């Protein structure tokens, strides 16, 4: 049976994450080896030529699943009929820029994109925001799309999740596939909280295997939370291939489901679970099935975790209040 191609829109397509992402989408890694895709690349006018170059390279790969590439600088065209939208392009923080300026500049990107999604995307649209500040950019886009179910707007904390798994596997000497049920809570920022208290290492409780709270507090958490900055320092540019990999993982898991007995981390609109104020886009442990996700309920949150979740959530509340004051939501 021939399947109808899935329309995947990628913003910031000419950027470094875009370059690492598009070939993987076109090869079937985002949605599955039997799912044809049409790509819509959104760029600002200055990025269009480079996006055209990437499209030429995509053509040259002769990917059997790739059924077309459109390039545009108009969000209304880019999101027309979109089933999946990866919002990667964002305004980076530059020297001397205050947080309020950054939020305002990104509001100028994510508000119109949210509106274009609202007006033109397919009914089953799923949105992943990668561009920073990812959680609050997702909130801005979501607020501009009142006709799209709020839960379709998500922010990427899968890179943090993968980083935490990798660090924990190294520490405990197991394979990454032996780590299950790790959680990133809160914001994709240095306040995020990678939680191992409910995680398993080769079938045993991770916190018990590690048995070293000082390592968790002083090494593991800061290493994961500041990994993005460490990569910028080492590479002279922010993470790209690993961020693209996490975007692929996020959407693939959302669409295809989590494995039995495991969960993942996604930035999603809070329903008030775990004392996280309703509406902010915060990272939670989630299971996914049939294209939908659910927050894992009933986890006991100890004091160590509570303080750290609350601190990251507080930062998200402040970001929400700032964009509200700017009239962006």
Ligand X SMILES: NC(=O)c1ccc[n+]([C@@H]2O[C@H](COP(=O)([O-])OP(=O)(O)OC[C@H]3O[C@@H](n4cnc5c(N)ncnc54)[C@H](O)[C@@H]3O)[C@@H](O)[C@H]2O)c1
Ligand Y SMILES: O=C(O)C[C@H](O)C(=O)O
Distance CA 210, CA 227 (A): 20
CB distance 177 to 202 below 8 Å: no
Q: Is 109 in the site for ligand X (CB under 6 A)?
A: yes
Q: Cβ-count burial of 123 within 10 angstroms (0-12 exposed, 13-18 middle, 19+ buried)?
A: exposed
191 binds, among ligand Y, ligand X, none (CB under 5 to 8 A by kind): none
Q: Give me the least distance between CB of 45 and ligand X, in Å please.
A: 9
CB 39 within 8 A of CB 59: no
- According to the annotation, is 163 in a ligand binding site? yes
Q: Identify the active-site residue in 161, 188, 198, 250.
A: 188
* Among ligand Y, ligand X, none, residue 130 binds (CB under 5-8 Å by kind): ligand X
The phi and psi torsions of 193 (rounded to 5 degrees) equal -125, 105
Does residue 198 carry a catalytic annotation? Answer: no
Is 16 labelled a binding residue?
A: yes
Among 270, 268, 275, 259, which Cα is nearest to 309's? 275
Residue 231 contact among ligand Y, ligand X, none, beta carbon within 5 to 8 Å by kind: ligand Y
Closest to ligand X by CB, 18 vs 114, is 18
Nearest CB to ligand Y, comparing residues 205 and 238? 238
Number of H helices, E strands in the chain: 12, 14
Distance in Å from the first CA to the final CA of the chain? 44
Q: Which stretch binds ligand X (CB under 6 A): 127-135, 281-289, 297-305, 308-316?
A: 127-135
| 17 annotated to bind ligand | yes
- If one asks whether residue 194 binds ligand X (CB under 6 A), the answer comes out as no
Q: Is 227 in the site for ligand X (CB under 6 A)?
A: no
Q: Is 77 in the site for ligand X (CB under 6 A)?
A: no
Binding flag, residue 53, ligand X (CB under 6 A): no
How many C-beta atoms lie closer than 10 Å to residue 173's C-beta? 10
Beta carbon nearer to ligand X, 14 or 251: 14
Report, as residue numbers or ranges, the catalytic residues.
Answer: 188
């Amino acid at each position: 049976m021939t399947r109808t191609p899935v329309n995947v829109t990628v913003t910031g397509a000419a950027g470094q994450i875009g370059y690492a992402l598009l070939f993987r989408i076109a090869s079937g890694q985002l949605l599955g080896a039997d799912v044809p895709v049409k790509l819509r690349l959104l760029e600002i006018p200055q990025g269009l030529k480079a996006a055209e170059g990437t499209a030429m390279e995509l053509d040259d790969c002769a990917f059997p699943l790739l059924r077309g590439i459109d390039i545009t600088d108009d969000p209304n065209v880019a999101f027309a009929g979109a089933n999946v939208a990866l919002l990667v392009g964002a305004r980076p923080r530059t020297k001397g820029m205050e947080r309020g300026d950054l939020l305002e500049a990104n509001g100028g990107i994510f508000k119109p994109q949210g509106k274009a999604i609202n007006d033109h995307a397919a009914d089953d649209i799923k949105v992943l925001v990668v561009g920073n500040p990812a959680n609050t950019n997702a909130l801005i886009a979501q607020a501009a799309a009142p006709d799209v179910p709020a839960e379709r707007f998500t922010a990427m904390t899968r890179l943090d999740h993968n980083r935490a798994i990798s660090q924990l596997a190294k520490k405990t000497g197991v394979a990454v596939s032996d780590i299950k049920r790790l959680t990133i809570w809160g914001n994709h920022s240095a306040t995020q909280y990678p939680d191992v208290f409910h995680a398993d290492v080769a079938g045993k409780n991770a916190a018990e295997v590690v048995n070293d709270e000082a390592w968790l507090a002083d090494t593991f958490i800061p290493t994961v939370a500041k990994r993005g900055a460490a990569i910028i320092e080492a590479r002279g540019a922010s993470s790209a291939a690993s961020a693209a990999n996490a975007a692929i993982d996020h959407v693939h898991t959302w669409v295809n489901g989590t494995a039995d007995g495991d969960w993942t981390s996604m930035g999603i609109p809070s329903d008030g679970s775990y004392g996280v104020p309703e509406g902010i886009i915060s990272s939670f442990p989630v299971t996914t099935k049939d294209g939908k996700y659910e927050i894992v309920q009933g986890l006991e949150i100890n004091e160590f975790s509570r303080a750290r979740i609350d601190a990251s959530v507080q930062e998200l509340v402040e970001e929400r209040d700032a964009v509200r004051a700017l009239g962006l939501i």
